[in-house]
Amino acid sequence: MTWKQVFTSSVGKKLVMGLTGISLILFLIVHASLNACIWANDGGEMFNHAAHFMGGNVVPRILEIGLFGGIILHIFQGYLLTLENRSKRTVGYAVNYADGSKWYSRSMGLLGTLILLFLIIHLAHFWFPNRSSQGFLLGPEINLYEKMKLEFSQLWVVIVYILGCISLGYHLAHGFQSAFKTMGVHNKKYNLMLSSIGYGFSVFISIAFILMPLSFYFGWVS
């Protein structure tokens, strides 16, 4: 497969979606683990320490550029695939699904769009103020724990985060196994294991993220 085909053929696009998807899953694991430091309930000391390591060192900041590149590529190829699938379909979705596909497998474009809207709000809450205070280099950072306390004291913000994380959960419920299948993990022996791990991961990660704004809103952490 040539580089041009990687970005233009259906198989190439699915490959890009799978590779960027798996990288984003790895990012979510690191992000949730780091954020889980809020539950140390030490006034944010452990969390701010970990966040400072990520925001104040060259290597994580270079990885951050790769992360944003991966997100943009995933969104771009995702929309192209959605349009491609739509133009191939002769009848709409008002039919019975003999293949038994779930609503969220058929709504990846919509769920991805909801996650994108959530991400714009999310980056405007934390990432942008923090990086702009650093002059987008390695300057002094804001107190992210106090910023979370402030943002998550507002009910509308908590609701937007819960809806964003539910969309993420459903997006992953299809995306997780789909990404690994595209990478070749696809035979009868492994399918059940892969879908179980995929569902388990989707539920676990979305509940973990949902509990974060709730913890601040209800004062479970101080």
Q: Which residues in this chain contact ligand HEM in the complex, by CB under 6 A?
A: 31, 35, 51, 54-55, 64, 67, 115, 119, 122, 126-127, 130, 144, 148, 161, 165, 168, 209, 212-213
In the complex, minimum distance from the CB of residue 9 to ligand HEM, in angstroms, rounded to a whole number: 28
In the complex, minimum distance from the CB of residue 54 to ligand HEM, in angstroms, rounded to a whole number: 5
Residue 74: which of 10, 22, 127, 114 has the closest Cα? 22
Q: Which amino acid is it at 66?
A: G
Smaller CB distance to ligand HEM: residue 6 or 208? 208
DSSP 96-158: --TT---TTTTTHHHHHHHHHHHHHHHIIIIIHHHHHHTTTTT-PPP-HHHHHHHHTTSHHHH
152, 217 in Cβ contact below 8 A?
yes
In the complex, minimum distance from the CB of residue 213 to ligand HEM, in angstroms, rounded to a whole number: 6
DSSP code at position 154: S
In the complex, minimum distance from the CB of residue 192 to ligand HEM, in angstroms, rounded to a whole number: 27
Euclidean distance between CA atoms 143 and 146, whole angstroms: 6
In the complex, minimum distance from the CB of residue 127 to ligand HEM, in angstroms, rounded to a whole number: 4
Smaller CB distance to ligand HEM: residue 6 or 110? 110
Smaller CB distance to ligand HEM: residue 6 or 114? 114
The sign one gets for the Cα dihedral 56, 60, 65, 69 is negative
Smaller CB distance to ligand HEM: residue 152 or 180? 152
Smaller CB distance to ligand HEM: residue 8 or 222? 222
